[in-house]
A and B are shown apart, each in its own frame.
Chain A
Amino acid sequence: MKAAVIQFPGSNCDTDCEAALKSFPGVEASIVWHKETSLTGFDAIVLPGGFSYGDYLRCGSIARFSPIMGAVRDAANAGVLVIGICNGFQILCEAGLLPGTLQRNTGLLFRCEHRRLRVENTETPFTSVLHKGQVLDIPIAHGEGNYFADPETIRQIEENGQVLLRYCDASGNVTAEANPNGSLGNIAGICSHGRNVFGLMPHPERVCDPLLGGTDGRGIFQSMIESVQKA
């Protein structure tokens, strides 16, 4: 798999994503500056976390106008895998590549901590090596991760199986206590209707090394790699 990690001004998980991807045998990953306009030749595109444009105006709302976003949109429409993590998820929502939006956490404070996530659908290129109902331990780090969409959109993404991850407790129960930010339906990550665009608030790249608190993030990248190999 050849992956591009987009570097927006203010991205700060770009090198973390690059290192996590490179920890998989055979994966090539390179940082692509946001003023570039082409993404040809890449099998996967990563929009990393951070504070693109300082989160000014609204998280992700300025980054969506970056020159590279035309190429990201074209790639998404052509079926290339696009994953947006944290700020990357916010950018994908602002760009209209994923439905809904991410609001301020209900507690109003930034939260950085390990959270449990339940895998809801494994029939996607981002979750294929996981098991339905599997509980992952992946950290979050955000002030605005409160997923919101209108009732009709929520109904559609639920019916279409686009909700891939939900905040849950250690036993996999989706409860109000397990919800760190007020997200509707405890939603932590969703994919596009076509299944090839995935946005999630938790940071899988932070749990790809046992020395750094776990390896539960690897399944998501492994799924992407296998999906690219099959294609």
Chain B
Amino acid sequence: MSNPAITPELIAKHGLTPEEYQKVLDILGREPSFEELGVFSVMWSEHCSYKNSRPELRKFPTTGPSVLVKAGEENAGVIDIGDGWAVAFKIESHNHPSAVEPFQGAATGVGGIIRDIFTMGARPVFLMDSLRFGSIEGDSEQAKTNRRLFAGVVAGIAHYGNCIGLPTVAGEVYFDESYSGNPLVNAFCLGILRHEQIARGAAEGIGNPVFYVGAETGRDGLAGAAFASRELTEESKADRPAVQVGDPFREKLLLEACLELLATDAVAGIQDMGAAGLTCSTCETASRGGTGVEIDIQLVPQRAKGQTPYEVLLSESQERMLVIVKKGKEDIVKRIFEKWDLPYAEIGKVTDDGKMRVRNGNDVVVDIPARSLADDSPLYFREAAPFTPPAPLDLSSVSEADPSAVLPKLLSHPSIASKRWVWRQYDHMVRTGTAVLPGSDAAVFIVREAGKILAAATDCNAVYCRLDPTVGARIAVAECARNLACSGAVPLGVTDNLNFGNPHKPENFYQLRAAVEGISEGCRAFDVPVTGGNVSLYNESPAGAIDPTPTISMVGRIDDASQITTQAFKEAGDQVYLLGETGNELGGSHYLLAIHGRKEGAPPAMDFDKEKAIHAALLGVIRKGLVRSAHDCSEGGLAVAIAESTFGTNLGASIDFGATNDRPDVILFNETQGRIVLSTKAADASALEKELAASGVPFRKIGEVTAKAELSIKTGSGAYSWKVADLEQTFESTIPSLMEG
């Protein structure tokens, strides 16, 4: 089969602008081959090059005393956790593939992020995911599609994570119209390793052999990185061949074989084949090593006969790795990969000429300076639209809804309702380390081999980000830190997934820039580095861009098992306290959204100093053993937080806010930040109050845990009560009944 001629149409089809093509000509000093055009196309896609977002990403704080591998250096950042142990973690999106093929799209998203972690030499220990879908309520075609996407994505994550044997321990799922037709699937993986086990993705050592290990290359996922860097349209369904097919069993074998191989001294460099497959892995390892890499396509294990060099180079077939082996240690690779019954092949060698050179037998089909390809990608400084912060909500425009009816309604809003239907499909206990089951503020995981207790949370309220992206992003960081504090943990590091619309539109680009600034401020405030992450732009369907969704995942450490804290009330008679001030902030609240159908106003303010003081005070009393439960107030406000604290306990709560003239709906459902509901033993109440008073944070006693499973709340002007069983039934049954009828 002969290659097509390089025409302006073919160049445009590869997503390269005329200016970018000129740059290709300048680098090569000649017209590219068809294969080279494909290589430039994927390497210079947003997905691989971050050409639209790189100038913004440089704003993140990425250093710190605990940072062992910095963001952007390798496949994932690595953070010291003490005693010679470290964690590697990262979040990555698979939004576009999941929109056209939810099961495989989500499954391979999980597979990809797991490979990023074990490429670092780390043993993956747990997963989380952050998901967004359009509304799943009602009988519209769109709602049916959204339910199909939701079910497919969850099944895909379950399929991959369960089979490979990694627990999915936490996550978040939100439903909003802005995601109709463009769901978000962000998958997170964390792995553990000794400092000396950190593996590098560099092609070191001239003459070292280059091995291909793992699954055979097929035609699946052709140029998926380029596909992910376009808006979704009606025609996107035709891009299904751009979605990869995952085989978690193969990845399990690959994981074990690679870790076994990395435990020997045979490896000079290792790189997974993710986006842009063989192309990206050869070019990046050469670029990092300051070397060249030469491979022969004909030596690559292939699933089908008759694949062209173009197809082999651009395939995103899953479960493959590139390993640079120290010369003379080839037999070790052979022994280990034969033990695990995995394909492997020596396909080339490290060279000293700085070129990424691909042969097809005797023909050279690609001959590009590796560093130019990886590092000299185009860089765009996009225009950001001017932004006027939203006016605060005019409370008089909000009619006062009856709290008795509002609370059950909020608890049955799919974004707030129990996600048990989701996490019950995930094996969340394998690897026997899950100390806090999904559904609490943060996951808590005991890493047996290291004797360390880790906590992790993932958050982003995109309604806030839609209204004011800087504030929304600040809140996402603060909420993660607050969730960790509620579980007894101090934060160690952050990974972010920036999900936005087309950056060529100035209003979208403003959102990206503002969110990065908000995240950066948050990370500086909590003194945590961003260790890496992912950018997903072009999240648009024919109806428009998604709400800006800068998903934050934060990892923390708990010093002692006795400090592990959960949100559930523990015993009747325990005293209930509220930390933080209740303001008057219904703007951007779920109350306003779900009850009044309004996505407007200014989101709640984020004052990092106050927030940090609250977390410090909470951790102080947790460490003194004075806290039996702690739960942060987020979507749905205080009433939802208290109700959730009663679920699964057979207990109730009697709450009284004392004399106040504030509107009950404001007290109960406003989403002022920096608030935590905690409970303590009656005998510890005075000690707790003394400690909190000494720390100077605002707090007040608001009631007590009761044996009668009833939630009663007095707000000054009103008194309300609900049977906990009724609220819990509403909370638990919403998603199953929408999904299973």
Contacts and interface: CB of A to CB of B under 8 A. Distances in A.
A112 B424 contact: yes
Interface residues of A, number: 34
Interface stretch (A125-133, A160-168, A187-195, A205-213): A205-213
Nearest to B342: A9
Interface stretch (B433-441, B512-520, B546-554, B637-645): B433-441
Interface in A185-231: 203, 205-206, 208-209, 211-213
B450 to A, nearest CB: 13
A195 B319 CA distance: 42
Contacts of B165: 11-13, 50-51
B666 to A, nearest CB: 38
B580 interface: no
A12 B340 contact: no
A212 B248 contact: no
A206 B423 CA distance: 17
Contacts of A112: 162, 423-429
Contact of A205 (B249, B432, B434, B435): B432
A141 B430 contact: yes
Interface in A1-47: 9-13, 15-16, 19-20, 33, 35
Nearest to B426: A112
A111 B424 contact: yes
Interface of A: 9-13, 15-16, 19-20, 33, 35, 49-51, 53-56, 109-113, 139, 141, 143, 203, 205-206, 208-209, 211-213
Given A9-B253, A51-B165, A111-B424, 15 more contacts: A9-B252, A9-B341, A10-B253, A12-B165, A16-B431, A54-B247, A110-B425, A112-B162, A112-B426, A139-B429, A141-B162, A141-B430, A203-B429, A206-B429, A212-B429
Nearest to B438: A112
Given A9-B340, A20-B432, A212-B446, A56 B249 contact: yes
Contacts, number: 92
Contacts of B155: 109
Most chain-B CB neighbours within 10 Å: which of A9, A10, A55, A112? A112
B431 A10 contact: no
Interface of B: 155, 158, 162-165, 247-250, 252-253, 339-341, 423-435, 437, 446, 448, 561, 564
Most chain-A CB neighbours within 10 Å: which of B162, B339, B426? B162
A112 B438 CA distance: 11
B429 A10 contact: no
Contacts of A13: 165, 430
Contacts of B430: 12-13, 16, 49, 141, 206
16 contacts: A12-B431, A19-B432, A53-B249, A54-B250, A54-B252, A110-B424, A110-B427, A112-B162, A112-B429, A205-B432, A211-B435, A211-B564, A212-B429, A212-B434, A213-B434, A213-B437
A14 to B, nearest CB: 9
Nearest to A180: B424
B407 to A, nearest CB: 26
A12 B164 contact: yes
Nearest to A15: B431
A141 B163 contact: no
Nearest to B740: A107
Contacts of B435: 211-213
A113 B427 CA distance: 8
A136 to B, nearest CB: 16
Nearest to B253: A9
Contact of B162 (A11, A110, A211, A212): A110
Contact of B561 (A141, A143, A211): A211
Contacts of A15: 431
Contact of A141 (B249, B250, B427, B564): B427
What are the 10 A-B residue pairs with the smallest beta carbon separation, nearest first? A12-B165, A54-B249, A51-B163, A141-B427, A16-B432, A112-B427, A110-B425, A206-B429, A10-B249, A110-B158
A51 B162 CA distance: 8
A53 B425 CA distance: 21
A40 B425 CA distance: 39
Contacts of B564: 211
Most chain-A CB neighbours within 10 Å: which of B247, B253, B339, B429? B429
A139 B434 CA distance: 12
Contacts of A209: 432
A168 B247 CA distance: 36
Contacts of A55: 163, 249
A112 B339 CA distance: 31
B425 A51 contact: no
A174 B155 CA distance: 30
Contacts of A19: 432, 448
A141 B429 contact: yes
Contacts of A9: 249, 252-253, 340-341
Contacts of B423: 112
Contacts of B424: 109-113
Contacts of B249: 9-10, 51, 53-56
Contacts of A109: 155, 424-425
A143 B423 CA distance: 14
A205 B446 CA distance: 15
A126 B163 CA distance: 27
A154 B341 CA distance: 39
B253 A212 contact: no
Contacts of B339: 33, 35
B341 A212 contact: no
A50 B255 CA distance: 15
Contacts of B341: 9
B432 A212 contact: yes
B593 to A, nearest CB: 30
Contacts of B561: 211
B390 to A, nearest CB: 41
A16 B426 CA distance: 17
Most chain-B CB neighbours within 10 Å: which of A11, A56, A139? A139
B551 to A, nearest CB: 24
Contacts of B250: 54
Contact of B248 (A33, A54, A113): A54
A151 B431 CA distance: 37
B252 A10 contact: yes
A205 B435 CA distance: 14
B124 to A, nearest CB: 11
B420 to A, nearest CB: 8
Contacts of B162: 51, 110, 112, 141, 143
Contacts of B446: 211-212
Contacts of A203: 429
Nearest to B252: A10
A48 B564 CA distance: 29
A55 B160 CA distance: 12
Contacts of B158: 110
B432 A206 contact: yes
B167 to A, nearest CB: 9
Contacts of B426: 110, 112
A33 B338 CA distance: 13
Nearest to B433: A212
A132 B429 CA distance: 28
Contact of B252 (A12, A49, A212, A213): A12
Nearest to B251: A54
Nearest to A113: B424
Contacts of B253: 9-10
B248 A51 contact: yes
B425 A10 contact: no
Contacts of B427: 110, 112, 141
Given A54-B249, A211-B446, A10 B163 contact: yes
A67 B1 CA distance: 45
A11 B164 CA distance: 9
Contacts of B448: 19
A109 B250 CA distance: 23
A9 B339 CA distance: 10
Most chain-B CB neighbours within 10 Å: which of A11, A12, A16, A51? A12
B304 to A, nearest CB: 20
